[in-house]
Chain A
């Protein structure tokens, strides 16, 4: 009985109900093409959300992920266009993401700036500086088939973004659930003073959380660039809010201390299936923004209730 009261089981039930409702409404919901579409668009969110789950669990947040992702699309396309090398493009992207993650982490821990403010500032810096880097969108002139394959290809009839996400997923499931490092992130989030007294270097783990999140943005950004076939300033608009809403919906506490990757995955699937349903049911698409907004409020509200009850 207790199993059916866990956050994940409630989300899973909600997901099943949504799927049943949509399949009755439109049998195409279960078409392989639609499942591919949902999973492909979920994958880029999931990859970044794995990092965001760690960050939120440790009591921090990163609002710069959307702006960084947009910048990544521009960098990867530009570097590959110039060098003709995917490897160099990836090195440039991950070097840049590492730097941004480090800056976010150091501003939070060394300068002691609240992460909400620090990453909001980083978001603005990235949004502006991408236009300093290039005023125009960067189009794919290298035409390397492998690059298109990253976002548009299939492996064993599974879209490549999903394959990449599945490749990364086990690392985070194990990290958060089965290693002491995962427990460190929870401890830092739930009681930073106690964590410090028990010998955990809070700042080091927080910086690590920001760096991991930024590197994951690099992965998603490369997929997005491949999918768009373009490096586009202004892409991934509002992406950070979707990621945060999904992670909170998945049961990760905004106040830190609690979070699961499975919950995050379920949260993302629910949001993406609602998005898909809005299109299948031909509901005005403004609801794609309205729904996550409501869900964000509800998720934080229920998180508060859970916290109160457990307290």
Chain B
């Protein structure tokens, strides 16, 4: 009799739980720049989790146009999606959308950048990601018996997010060795621009032993400029940021490469986390204002734990479970307001 009671209680509890946490049926995502590798992988993560949960995901690309993003948000609201996810084209521009969504009772989740009036956001911590890469580079320098890091920072000084990455990187290195930023460059986040500015900077002073890039293109551009200048790679360490696509895996797995560290931001993991957050918000679960997604310093020794890389086929497959197990910050160590 006791067993039957327990069994009935379990069924009732399960039924109640299911009725409370029903998944949304349709979710709309407006990406700000869908052709970028980072966002393609964010979409992959969102879609992967949506497929697991049986949710229909519809994606629209604002292509860096805030007017288009506003129109697309209105289209999604008219269509009646259950949750709206957006990567803002700009932080001010999405405020009216958020206001309208709130008025219409549409649960809205932001990715990447916060905006006034938002309920919740999923994003990495830029400072902490840079810090982890700097810490890994600092350890390598110490293991090599180096006492100084002379850094060429191929950055993007106009964006607070990338400034935070550079700041975290430099502060972490300084915990291990003396750290000097020899060059602070604007590579526009593009490999060709980075090659050009880094070439000129290296011509002015090539006495550096660390190249840091605020994304993969910047790091690779710095490295290509180094190679084009015919400089020796023996004592050089290159660190990139993002793990946006295949670039860092291709370079990191080459024999004798100086590309030793990647501040991985796991874009697929960002998407996966974002979908969970959207479901929680839909179900009325108490969600944090900023859900921090995992970052980690990847090296040639640990990348395989998180990515299955098929070099010949030029494909990578993320291990969502292992990425989800990476300890994450509850809040970022530094924000744009700290700059």
- Find residues 214-269 in chain A having any chain B CB closer than 8 Å to their own CB: 224, 227-230, 232-237
- Find residues 36-62 in chain A having any chain B CB closer than 8 Å to their own CB: 36-38, 40-41
Q: Indicate which residue in B195, B197, B246, B314 contacts A285 across the interface (CB closer than 8 Å).
A: B197
Residue of A nearest to B192 (CB): A235
**A40 cross-chain contacts in B, Cβ below 8 A:** 199, 228
B113 at the interface (CB under 8 A from A): no
A119 at the interface (CB under 8 A from B): no
User: A152 to B224, Cβ gap below 8 A?
Assistant: yes
A135 at the interface (CB under 8 A from B): yes
B175 at the interface (CB under 8 A from A): no
Q: C-beta contact mask, B203-246 vs A, less than 8 Å → 1, else 0? A: 11110000000000100110010011110000000000000011
User: A228 to B191, Cβ gap below 8 A?
Assistant: yes
A87 at the interface (CB under 8 A from B): no
Taking beta carbons and an 8 Å cutoff, which residues of B are in contact with A? 35, 37, 40, 157-158, 185-186, 188, 190-193, 195-197, 199-206, 217, 220-221, 224, 227-230, 245-247, 250, 311-312, 314
Task: Give the most central of A151, A152, A233, A275: most B CB within 10 Å.
Answer: A152
Please judge, given known A-B contacts A135-B35, A136-B245, A234-B190, whether A279 and B185 are in contact too, CB under 8 Å. Answer: yes
**A237 cross-chain contacts in B, Cβ below 8 A:** 188, 190, 193
Q: Indicate which residue in A135, A152, A159, A232 contacts B227 across the interface (CB closer than 8 Å).
A: A152
A137 at the interface (CB under 8 A from B): yes
A276 at the interface (CB under 8 A from B): yes
In the docked arrangement, what's the CA distance between A287 and B202, Å?
19
Please judge, given known A-B contacts A137-B37, A232-B191, whether A41 and B246 are in contact too, CB under 8 Å. Answer: no
User: B224 to A137, Cβ gap below 8 A?
Assistant: no
In the docked arrangement, what's the CA distance between A285 and B196, Å?
12
Q: C-beta contact mask, A165-201 vs B, less than 8 Å → 1, else 0? A: 0000000000000000000000000000000000000
Residue of B nearest to A235 (CB): B192
12 further contact pairs, Cβ within 8 A, besides A131-B35, A152-B228: A136-B245, A136-B314, A137-B37, A139-B246, A140-B250, A154-B230, A227-B224, A229-B224, A232-B217, A234-B35, A285-B185, A285-B197
Q: Indicate which residue in B188, B229, B314 contacts A37 across the interface (CB closer than 8 Å).
A: B229
User: A232 to B192, Cβ gap below 8 A?
Assistant: yes
Q: Indicate which residue in A141, A233, A279 contacts B200 across the interface (CB closer than 8 Å).
A: A279
Least CB distance, A143 to chain B, in whole angstroms:
8
In the docked arrangement, what's the CA distance between A232 and B206, Å?
26
Please judge, given known A-B contacts A139-B247, A141-B250, A152-B227, whether A228 and B192 are in contact too, CB under 8 Å. Answer: yes
A280 at the interface (CB under 8 A from B): yes
User: B196 to A41, Cβ gap below 8 A?
Assistant: yes
In the docked arrangement, what's the CA distance between A89 and B230, Å?
26
Offer 30 A-B interface pairs, CB within 8 angstroms, sorted by A: A28-B205, A33-B206, A34-B204, A36-B203, A36-B229, A37-B202, A40-B228, A131-B35, A135-B35, A135-B37, A136-B37, A137-B37, A137-B247, A139-B314, A141-B314, A154-B230, A159-B228, A228-B191, A228-B220, A232-B217, A235-B190, A237-B190, A237-B193, A275-B196, A275-B200, A279-B197, A280-B200, A280-B204, A284-B157, A284-B186
User: B40 to A230, Cβ gap below 8 A?
Assistant: no
**B40 cross-chain contacts in A, Cβ below 8 A:** 135-136
